[in-house]
Structure 1
Amino acid sequence: MDPAPLYREHLDTLLARVATALERGGFEHLLIGSGVQRYEHLDDRPITFRGNPQFVQFLPLPAHTDCWIAITPGNKPVLAYYQPDDYWHLPPAAPSGAWVEHFDIRTVRTPDEARRHLPPAARSAILAPADAALDGYVPNDPAAVVDYLHYHRAFKTPYELALMRQASARAVRGHRAAESAFRRNESELEIHRAYLHASGHLDTDLPYGNIVALNEHGAVLHYQHQQAQRPHESRAFLIDAGGTADGYASDITRTYANGDAAFSALVHAVDGVQLALVDRVRAGRDYADLHVEAHRMLAGVLRDLDIVRMAPEDQVDAGVSAVFFPHGLGHLLGIQVHDIGGFMATDAGGRIERPAGHPYLRLTRTLAPHMVVTIEPGIYFIDSLLAGLREGPHAQAVNWTAIEHLRRFGGVRIEDDVVCTDSTPQNLTRDAFGAAAA
């Protein structure tokens, strides 16, 4: 679906949220800065710019520095649009798109010129990175305003969902090319380049650094390299890579086997668990409880495949399942890959803590319609964690022969992006793979 016709409704939703947030905070205006260009230490080389997500939610301008939005409820929002006279770099083009008619656009040639188009700072909530401050306009990030906006950012508008579907389709093109490169026994770097080419991305505009992991590297949760040399044998491939559309992200992981029966069975089993968990993304479901249920289900896989000879509940209670599944089930997704607000108790603030023994879970809220979450269970063979298990009281319950064989494949993770609805969840990732295969 083309997002453009949905933009007006999206903006109206955001402006209604702003009005409520300002009333709660006792402010008359909301000012949002896009952020400034940063540079490497002791150098003039620019660091890749990523726009303030609070700004990007309003405008599809994720690469535009030094812009400001000024919102006064009841008035047309103002955009101070930074368009410098620059012959070192290509300046931003003139504003265009479905959003233009909804803003009073004031072009500025220097960052400081934006001040002339902003309402008085004294009655303004100012949201921006600290280094984006202008003379007399210092970000104050009032809690009552920020908490309300961040809490409700979890609930995506139809415009946002349309962009996330585009981001999913873009990533899936890359994933399909990456799998083909793996089947050709190409290196991690070659696979990564195939992904970039097919998805139309550069390294600098990916939503996060691609995880392109062959063989044992799949056991490194955030593996950060791409080796140029082709491996002697490509036994397994784990890729965690996303795409973007006007600042909104997708976040997708797939794992592929290359003929080994035991590892193929593990991939198939984790995929089955993942689909079952996706079906449990229902309104009213506590996400933290779903994470614990994922542990029980993955522990069942470990038992059924004769990797751990303990009942699933016993594995979870003893912390054995956490050796093989040491991260959280997923997180909110949107403009940020790990979108803000995952622990918020209400739109007035407060925090819902993680369940004991699960320190890496990124989402503890109750699911509700229009939330988008990732579901990413995994089973890994991580040497440092296995060493602790071998030395612990449950070592005799582990099939170390199976572990030794499966270590060579690293691990398995399957991740989809899922929309919670009033009924059946929508799987953005599987929909995109299905459309690409049609």
Structure 2
Amino acid sequence: MNSTRPGTLYADHIATLQQRTTAALERGGFDHLVVPSGTLHYQVFDDRDYPYAVNPQFKAWLPMTDAPGSWLVFTPGMKPKLVFLQPHDYWHVVPAEPSGYWVGHFDIVVIREPDEAKRHLPGNAARCAILGEAQSALGQYGAYTPNNPDAVVSYLEYQRAFKTPYEIAMMREATRIGVRAHRAAERLFRAGSSEFGIHLAYCQAAGQDANDLPYTNIVALNEHAAVLHYMRRDRLPPRPICSFLIDAGASFGGYACDITRTYSAQADDFQSLIDAMDAAQLKMCAQVRAGFDYKQLHLDAHLAIATILKDFGLIHVSPEVAVETGVSSAFFPHGVGHGIGLQVHEVGGFMASDAGGVIEKPKGHPYLRLTRVLEPGMVVTIEPGLYFIDMLLDELKDRGLGPSVDWDRVAQFKPYGGIRIEDDVVCTDGDPENLTREGFSAV
């Protein structure tokens, strides 16, 4: 397992960002990149702030995720500048002074009021590519309003698919935290806890509150696992507890991990089904290789899952017929995965080139989030699923495909909800690196 610390890799990372940004600015005809970190703003008809989320274009440059009202400026040939808002405030905790391995790579200016930033931004806003939300504009007249030029954004988002060694190291650290929390969640499940109790144990073990996590935890017992984005979290456990699906990640310096595991309460047929899915998922992870089309990986996953359905007596038709007729999609209705990095669903998944354009999804597979050919440096999730969802199964009957399914066998598995297993995998010049499996092996 590669244990290189992010700090030793940061200089090369920032150099790569400067090269990419210089090319993006040339493409768009701009002289400067200006990136607001984002702002705190009130919820509608209220005096409470929405939870703050840093601009991903900002945290790509530095591992600072709690810096509302700050700005990053890059002019080709010059040292990047951080305009850091550290207000005088006794109502709230003030963001800490910038520190750590990365600060020497920036000219840092500390301001006390948001509008002070104007003095430290490039003089002609029209020559700036300003990437952010509209509410980040400064002052009464909206100076430095984000323009998000397509040419610049497209170039940067396409290139973001290729992670630097620093970024992969950050994601490995996020995985280490996430695995620790997953282990704690499994222990609470085995002890008979509720979904809410498991969620709290997860946050405690990760050392991250709900707003710190990269996405809302999915903690599903029994049939709740058939709701793909189940987030209700019952306060009392069901009786009996049959199964547990947890899809939960962790953050580190602005980077995310995304991990899903499924467990049976007993050594039963459902556990055998989990084991079969786990074996198939590992084979899918092994397909993460340079030059392989991710669309084909998704289609191969459907055939593998249809084979499991056949092997476990859930369908009467051949795996090939199940895929062709859409029977497999009733049991596996989402994509096999997505890019991951600064965002859980990383941008640029459909882009044909750094100038834009779209690589279409395979016909009949509307929920796939990545259609590019894999290349070294890409990090993707592999998350096949097999679920027992009433709505989708009823649709099979409505389409005249009911005879394809053994409904008595399906009824035996419906109380368990479903299965999803998800790893984060790095595409390299050779064998893929499975960050998630490495993380579980290390604890």
Q: TM-score, normalised by structure 1?
A: 0.98
Report the equivalent of 2:241: 234
**1:224 equivalent among 231, 241, 247:** 231
Q: Is 2:66–2:95's contact at 8 Å kept on the other side of the alignment? A: no
Question: Aligned partners of 2:397, 2:267: CA distance in 1, in Å?
Answer: 25
Query: 1:397-422 CA deviation, whole Å, 9 max, x = no partner?
Result: 21111100100000000000000000
Question: Aligned partners of 2:96, 2:267: CA distance in 1, in Å?
Answer: 53
Question: Aligned partners of 2:251, 2:423: CA distance in 1, in Å?
Answer: 15
What is the SS of the residue equivalent to 1:361?
coil
**Which one-letter code corresponds to 2:92 in the other structure?**
H
Residue 199 (structure 1) shift: 1.0
Question: Aligned partners of 1:104, 1:199: CA distance in 2, in Å?
Answer: 33
1:49 and 2:56 aligned: no
Report the equivalent of 2:409: 402
Report the equivalent of 1:263: 270
**2:315 equivalent among 308, 311, 330:** 308
Report the equivalent of 2:439: 432
Report the equivalent of 1:112: 115
**1:63 equivalent among 58, 66, 77:** 66
Report the equivalent of 1:278: 285
Question: Aligned partners of 2:114, 2:319: CA distance in 1, in Å?
Answer: 59
**Which one-letter code corresponds to 1:294 in the other structure?**
A
**1:369 equivalent among 368, 373, 376:** 376
1:251 and 2:279 aligned: no
Question: Aligned partners of 1:25, 1:231: CA distance in 2, in Å?
Answer: 57
Residue 136 (structure 1) shift: 2.5
Question: Aligned partners of 1:61, 1:37: CA distance in 2, in Å?
Answer: 16
Residue 111 (structure 1) shift: 1.1
**Which one-letter code corresponds to 1:71 in the other structure?**
F
Query: 1:291-324 CA deviation, whole Å, 9 max, x = no partner?
Result: 0110011000001111011111111110100000
Q: How many residues are aligned here? A: 436
What is the SS of the residue equivalent to 1:294?
helix
Query: 1:243-284 CA deviation, whole Å, 9 max, x = no partner?
Result: 000110000000001125221111011111100000000001
Report the equivalent of 1:130: 134
The equivalences for 1:18-37 within 5 A come to: 18-37=21-40
**Which one-letter code corresponds to 1:222 in the other structure?**
H
What is the SS of the residue equivalent to 1:243?
strand
What is the SS of the residue equivalent to 1:242?
strand
Q: Which residues of structure 1 form unaligned runs of 5+?
A: none
Question: Aligned partners of 1:309, 1:262: CA distance in 2, in Å?
Answer: 18
Question: Aligned partners of 2:42, 2:386: CA distance in 1, in Å?
Answer: 39
Alpha-carbon RMSD across the aligned residues, in angstroms, is: 0.9
Q: TM-score, normalised by structure 2?
A: 0.97
Q: Which residues of structure 2 form unaligned runs of 5+?
A: none
Question: Aligned partners of 1:19, 1:373: CA distance in 2, in Å?
Answer: 27
1:381 and 2:381 aligned: no
What is the SS of the residue equivalent to 2:33?
strand
**Which one-letter code corresponds to 1:79 in the other structure?**
L
**Which one-letter code corresponds to 1:354 in the other structure?**
K
Question: Aligned partners of 1:78, 1:136: CA distance in 2, in Å?
Answer: 19
Question: Aligned partners of 2:187, 2:102: CA distance in 1, in Å?
Answer: 39
Report the equivalent of 1:97: 100
What is the SS of the residue equivalent to 2:211?
helix
**2:189 equivalent among 182, 205, 210:** 182
Question: Aligned partners of 1:360, 1:391: CA distance in 2, in Å?
Answer: 22
Report the equivalent of 2:17: 14
Question: Aligned partners of 2:98, 2:180: CA distance in 1, in Å?
Answer: 29
What is the SS of the residue equivalent to 1:32?
strand
Report the equivalent of 1:349: 356
Query: 1:129-148 CA deviation, whole Å, 9 max, x = no partner?
Result: 11101232111111111111
Misfit runs of 4+, over 3 Å: none
Query: 1:373-400 CA deviation, whole Å, 9 max, x = no partner?
Result: 0000010000111111233322112111
- Most deviating of 96-105 and 41-50: 41-50
Question: Aligned partners of 1:233, 1:43: CA distance in 2, in Å?
Answer: 42
What is the SS of the residue equivalent to 1:251?
strand
Query: 1:149-199 CA deviation, whole Å, 9 max, x = no partner?
Result: 000001111111111001001000110010011001111111111111111
Question: Aligned partners of 2:18, 2:398: CA distance in 1, in Å?
Answer: 57
Question: Aligned partners of 1:136, 1:174: CA distance in 2, in Å?
Answer: 44
Residue 203 (structure 1) shift: 1.2
What is the SS of the residue equivalent to 1:205?
coil
What is the SS of the residue equivalent to 2:9?
helix
Question: Aligned partners of 1:16, 1:61: CA distance in 2, in Å?
Answer: 21
Question: Aligned partners of 2:404, 2:132: CA distance in 1, in Å?
Answer: 53
**1:323 equivalent among 319, 330, 334:** 330
Q: Is 2:80–2:106's contact at 8 Å kept on the other side of the alignment? A: yes
Q: Is 2:218–2:229's contact at 8 Å kept on the other side of the alignment? A: yes
1:161 and 2:168 aligned: yes
Report the equivalent of 1:83: 86
Question: Aligned partners of 1:210, 1:115: CA distance in 2, in Å?
Answer: 39
What is the SS of the residue equivalent to 1:432?
helix
